Structure 1
Amino acid sequence: MNGHSTSLRPVVLLVEDELFVRMATADALMDAGFDVIETAHADAAREILLHRADIQVLFTDVKMPGSMDGLELAAFVRRRWPHILVVITSGHLEPESRHLPENTAFIAKPYHEKVPAAVIQSLLS
């Protein structure tokens, strides 16, 4: 999905390098009422963020290829766009990790496909 959203559905930027995980998560988020922009790494996510003003939620994996990982992307978003909600997922970190940026939600992998939408909906309300 490209361009700017014209709907009233919240826009989620999904950053996940595992194709099938990204596809399943995007489908579940769309089914739950979100518009989803998908990308496989933080560098592409940063470019999208620089060119779109409608993103309300960043949902990012931690480990991925590119010049920054998901934690660095989350910290960048937190500094530059403090209004964007940040949800981090990983199969390698613990939720109480001191490495998580402030005011972020954490979802451990593997997760049930409905969990990201439920977490995001609770953050938005």
Structure 2
Amino acid sequence: MEVRPESAETILIVDDDELVRKSAATLMASLGYRVLSAGSGSEALEVLRQDAAIDLLFTDVFMPGGMHGPQLVAAARRLRPELKILFTSGYFEYAEIRHALDPSIEQVSKPYEREALAVILRRTLDGRGGVADDRRTDREQR
């Protein structure tokens, strides 16, 4: 099932790993999204201050440089309370990590497959679902 964006929705990808960032950007662009990217939390905040048309913040949970995903989300929500958020990490298999995050924020595990990512992006942008639903999606990916 192909899940397409409602329109030219914009996703800001934040990941310190350039290869992961570029791969995610290519994948999301192939799904029809407009993509912006940042290599750190501070760079992402600068983009959020400048670009008015950002619908979703797609951020890694763990990043070097003092600002991890949860701190970025807190700062981003002060700037844009309506901003949709999607956390990503390669470490969600550790329960203490998953449970330490805000349960109202969607989560997707790395590596992600195109179809599963398309579904969770759409669900997050539409404001449907929740973390419990994503755990099922993660299992289906494997």
Please name the residue that 2:124 is paired with: 123
Q: Name the structure with the higher strand share.
A: 1
Identity fraction in percent? 31
Aligned pair in 2 of structure 1 residues 18, 68: CA closer, same or farther (>3 Å)? same
Q: What is the Cα deviation at residue 67 of structure 1?
A: 2.9
Q: What is the Cα deviation at residue 39 of structure 1?
A: 1.1
User: What amino acid sits opposite 1:116 in the alignment?
Assistant: L
Q: Secondary structure at 2:55's aligned position in 1?
A: strand
1:4-83 matches, within 5 Å, as: 8-83=7-82
**What is the distance in 2 between the residues matched to 1:100 and 1:82?**
18
Q: What is the Cα deviation at residue 84 of structure 1?
A: 0.8
**Structure 1: runs of 5+ lacking an equivalent:** 1-7
Q: Deviations over 1:18-64 (max 9, x none)?
A: 12111111011011110000111111001111112211100000111
Q: What is the Cα deviation at residue 71 of structure 1?
A: 1.4
Please name the residue that 2:136 is paired with: none
| Root-mean-square deviation (Å) | 2.0
Q: Name the structure with the higher helix share.
A: 2
**Structure 2: runs of 5+ lacking an equivalent:** 1-6, 127-142
Q: What is the Cα deviation at residue 102 of structure 1?
A: 5.2
Please name the residue that 2:110 is paired with: 109
8 Å CA contact retained: 1:14, 1:22:
yes
**What is the distance in 2 between the residues matched to 1:117 and 1:39?**
21
Q: Secondary structure at 1:97's aligned position in 2?
A: helix
Aligned pair in 2 of structure 1 residues 101, 85: CA closer, same or farther (>3 Å)? same
From the CA coordinates, give the structure whose radius of gyration is larger.
Answer: 2
Q: What is the Cα deviation at residue 114 of structure 1?
A: 4.0
Aligned length: 118
Q: Deviations over 1:54-94 (max 9, x none)?
A: 11100000111223111111122234312110000112245
User: What amino acid sits opposite 2:109 in the alignment?
Assistant: A
**What is the distance in 2 between the residues matched to 1:43 and 1:104?**
20
User: What amino acid sits opposite 1:108 in the alignment?
Assistant: S
